Amino acid sequence: MRAVVIEKIGGPETLKISDVPVPEPGEGQVRIKVAYCALNPLDTHSRGGRIKWGVPQMPFVSGYEYSGRVDKLGPGIDAAMMGKRVASAGSWGGCGEYAVAPAKTLVHIPDGMDWQLGTVYFTSTLTAWHMLHTQARMNTGDVVVVHSAAGAVGVMTTQIAKDAGGTVIGLVGSPAKADYAKSFGCDHVLNEQDDPDWPKKVKELTGGKGADIVIDGNAGPGAPKNLQCLAPLGQVIYIGAMAGQAPDVNISGLIAGSHGVRGLVVYHAMAKTKGAEFKEIHEKLLSGKWKFPLNPPLKLEDIAKAHDDFENRRTMGRTLFTIGGEI
């Protein structure tokens, strides 16, 4: 089968399409005929050697987030799984024509949801939902600052926060991204590349109060600025480090501001709620009240450029690759 194999740590140019054996499901696994594969940040991090946990031994087939139809069952799997439309995030192999994944980790794509949305909606949407509701326990009237507001998590955070009665201040890195973020409902958009003193602007926009919640998937050396724009009892939630590791947090400063700094792995939050959030998420997406920022799918041959665009902050919304298509 055709697949993108990561053979060594390197840049996007190391990504090549190879011919590899079709995988076979083991105990508790199913094989999936892949329809679409999304570009997940962990795809770029694993290729670039920036993460170790959860990354298979090289060589391995890239693709952390994908959809498809179950076409073969491993030992111990209920026969009712055969032929089901499913999405996977957490098992590699989505950049190949077939992939195997543990059956218990799969999300069933609901009736009425198309393949492309079904591939990507749950990771970004669940992350946004849990940050605001499970962790931050957002209240009506809260001010939410969203880094990378033109990215998929940023766009979904904006819509969920607005739906909960909040005010959203989006942070972006270009005029085009500012327009994109506004189109999904941001009340205010600040270009943090042009204005490094953006925390002051947040204070001005909030009448001196500051933000109740800051959502940051970038971290990096500029992370301390998040605390400069927080209101008393406000909190920063980190979900990634696309800009590199953040400096150590000043504990005395947290005490002085009554501030909180937290991190999120969405699966921990999902274990707490046991899927109760899916009903609302499905209803809002299927009704069109929440619009997912999905770009037209690319060919697998475009994967190196897609990685390069993502790592150089040129991507808006979510990138998708056609593997088998509408199967």
Question: Considering the chain, what is the average pLDDT of its residues?
Answer: 95
How high is the pLDDT of residue 327?
Answer: 81
How high is the pLDDT of residue 143?
Answer: 98
Domain boundaries, the chain: 2-109+295-322, 124-270
What's the average pLDDT block by block, 10 residues per block, for the chain (327 residues)?
Answer: 96 95 97 97 93 89 97 96 95 97 94 95 95 97 97 97 98 96 97 91 97 94 95 96 87 95 92 92 96 96 96 93 93
Selection from 187, 192, 250, 240 nearest residue 216 by Cα: 240
DSSP label of 246? P
> Encoding tokens for residue 95?
């950049």
Selection from 17, 117, 6, 128 nearest residue 67 by Cα: 117
**Of 3.30.70.920, 3.40.50.970, 2.40.50.140, 3.40.50.720, which CATH number belongs to 124-270?**
3.40.50.720
How high is the pLDDT of residue 84?
Answer: 97
H or E element that contains 183: helix 175-183
Q: Taking the model in full, what pTM does it have?
A: 0.92
**2-109+295-322 in CATH: which number?**
3.90.180.10
How high is the pLDDT of residue 242?
Answer: 80
How high is the pLDDT of residue 52?
Answer: 83
Beta strands in the chain (DSSP E): 2-6, 16-19, 29-38, 60-61, 65-73, 85-89, 98-102, 107-108, 143-146, 167-172, 188-191, 211-216, 230-238, 260-263, 298-299, 320-322
The pLDDT tens digits of the residues spanning 107-138 come to 999 999 999 999 999 899 999 999 999 999 99
Q: Do residues 35 and 323 make contact, with C-beta atoms less than 8 angstroms apart?
A: yes
How high is the pLDDT of residue 195?
Answer: 86
The pLDDT tens digits of the residues spanning 52-72 come to 888 999 999 999 999 999 999
